[in-house]
A and B are shown apart, each in its own frame.
Chain A
């Protein structure tokens, strides 16, 4: 009796669950044709030589000049795309959200049904804008306006305006509505009530999300480079084709630094506002 009490009663079920998990997961590994053995046959194999070429990263002056140009182009694509996206997203989010509704202020947060109905076309537009991934837009625009950063800028502007518009509208609705309602009840216009009543509460979250989206835009512009939309992506595509591992390593390090900088910027801005 004492012997059985010394044993953990949960041990057997845990062991069985672990075995079950392995039995269920193993077919997944087989089906995806994952073969880690590739890395072990180093030296002679193609992969090993390619990976060995990653170190040290390329740092000759000529390549660094190319890398700098590509980085600036990527930043420019992301920033220009985000700016265009904001131009669409800000007005759209104001129309789509209930934050500016005069009738909601009177009716306990619920706008009139026809006012609610008017918001749907704008919501539909935002859904349409973000439902197509930016890479697809980029492929379309590369066909339409030719190779180069313009296609990337337009693709980011379209997809991100949809995402920013939706999230901004939700942020406006999630903050305290009473300050804006109080201002509207004192005769203020909707936009002024929004600026004085909603924006102070929403600004920090909007800023943080926008900087995060800018970071995502940098990554997206890299991906779109592969389909010919310029920037670091195009450069990494070229380096991969030439099996120049050291160049790939330099470009990957640049990604890391860019994302790190975006993170620091976000932190700094939140600290200033928070």
Chain B
């Protein structure tokens, strides 16, 4: 069992609930997509699973450990096995891509090696290899500020691939890419997960991509799990209910012929 949430809730600092009573268990090596409308709590769920935030209620178990029962040092050790891909990867603008990718292994390196790597990149072939998978090898020595949003997302993915975690979490990893690139990038992630037996949990806002690449799909709405089933069983009705929005009613059909158009003359 890689991930287990029991009645987990997450409360924001302002008191609003991001997640309520979530029960979830994910086996090692599973590939799971999380879909749902904006503000449903997809990022909160991934942050919870990635130990970025402690649950305000309920229990969290990651890779067989309860991260918030561990000491700080042990939790940092556990976290080296968890990789979180951010929607907008937080990379310093002036940092070079090679440094940003190699930073994935900081948790596994000692401080001396980290310092040395800052002076001279210690594993240029390793960084180039991960970037090449994502068709970005030519940007190895570019600064992060020179890249577009989609390219930055791929640098963030390359960093986590270089980290080689047992649990790979991705928060809208392809939101800034064109459809072809998004498809390619997701297949790279899925192939990596399959080859290395990595558990992959990704939130996506494109339902087609979720259904095409992930065997198991979870629908999240207002901080609760609405459905959790194989991709083949997700049908139109489920999706409509998931994304239904009471605020945005479909526009009423225009009333035809009631008022004659008056053209002002003068």
A binds B: yes
**Complex CA–CA separation, A178 to B114 (angstroms):** 19
Q: Is the CB of B53 within 8 A of A106?
A: yes
Q: In the complex, which of the residues B13, B84, B93, B114 contacts A186, with contact meaning CB atoms closer than 8 Å?
A: B84
How many pairs of residues, A versus B, come closer than 8 Å at their CB atoms?
90
Whether the pair A197, B114 counts as a contact (CB closer than 8 A) is: no
Q: A187-B77, A189-B76 are in contact. Are A176 and B92 (CB under 8 A)?
A: yes
In the assembled complex, the Cα of A61 lies from the Cα of B95 at a distance in Å of 51
Interface size class of A (residues with CB under 8 A): 20 to 34
The answer to whether A186 touches B95 (Cβ under 8 A) is: no
A186-210 vs B, CB cutoff 8 Å, 1 = contact: the mask equals 1111011101110011011000000
Stretch of B102-110, B132-140, B217-225, B239-247 at the chain-chain interface? B102-110
In the complex, per-residue mask of B87-103: 1 if CB is within 8 Å of any chain A CB, else 0 = 00111111100010001
Asked whether B84 lies within 8 Å of A179 as measured between CB atoms, the reply is no
Give bound CA distance, A182 to B100, whole Å.
Answer: 12
B115 — nearest CB in chain A belongs to which residue?
A195
Chain A CB within 10 Å, residue with most, of B13, B89, B103, B114: B103
CA distance A184 to B106 in the complex (A): 9
Query: Is A185's CB within 8 Å of the partner chain B?
Result: yes
Could you show 29 A-B contacts with beta carbons less than 8 Å apart?
Answer: A178-B90, A179-B92, A181-B90, A182-B89, A184-B76, A185-B51, A185-B79, A186-B82, A186-B160, A186-B163, A187-B82, A187-B107, A188-B103, A188-B106, A189-B107, A189-B114, A191-B111, A191-B114, A192-B109, A192-B111, A195-B114, A195-B118, A196-B95, A196-B99, A196-B114, A197-B90, A197-B92, A200-B94, A203-B94
Q: How far is the CB of A178 from chain B (nearest CB, A)?
A: 4
Closest to A193 in B: B106
B7 within 8 A of A: no
Q: Does B4 contact A (CB under 8 A)?
A: no
| 5 shortest interchain CB distances as A-B pairs | A187-B107, A187-B80, A178-B90, A188-B106, A200-B92
Residues of B within 8 A of A (CB): 13, 50-54, 72, 76-84, 86, 89-95, 99, 103-104, 106-109, 111, 114-115, 118, 160, 163, 165
Complex: A185 Cα to B160 Cα, angstroms? 12
Q: Assess whether A183 is interfacial by the CB under 8 Å rule.
A: yes
Which residues of chain B are within 8 angstroms of A192 by Cβ–Cβ distance? Answer: 106, 109, 111, 114
Task: Let me know if B52 and A106 touch, CB within 8 A.
Answer: yes
Known: A188-B103, A192-B114. 10 other contacts (CB 8 A): A179-B91, A182-B86, A182-B90, A185-B51, A187-B108, A188-B114, A197-B92, A201-B93, A204-B94, A273-B94
Q: Which A residues are CB-close (under 8 A) to B92?
A: 176, 179, 196-197, 200-201
Given known pairs A197-B92, A200-B92, A201-B93, the reply for A186 and B79 (CB within 8 Å) is yes
Instruction: Check if A126 is an interface residue, CB within 8 A of chain B.
Output: no
- A176 close to B111 (CB less than 8 A): no
Q: Which residues of A contact B (CB under 8 A)?
A: 102, 105-106, 108, 176, 178-179, 181-189, 191-193, 195-197, 200-201, 203-204, 273
State the Cβ distance, B143 to closest chain A Cβ, in Å: 10
Q: Say yes or no: A189 contacts B51, CB within 8 Å.
A: no
- Chain B positions within 8 Å of A106 at CB level: 52-54
**Known: A179-B90, A200-B92, A200-B95. Contact between A185 and B114, CB under 8 A?**
no
Q: With A196-B103, A201-B92 given, is the CB distance from A186 to B83 under 8 Å? A: yes
Least CB distance from B68 to A in Å reads 9
- B86 touching A186, Cβ below 8 Å: no
Nearest chain A CB to B60's CB is how many angstroms away? 13
Give min CB distance, A163 to chain B, whole Å: 25
Q: Which of A108, A197, A203, A273 has the most CB of B within 10 A?
A: A197
| Partner pick for A183 among B53, B93, B103, B111, CB 8 A cutoff | B103
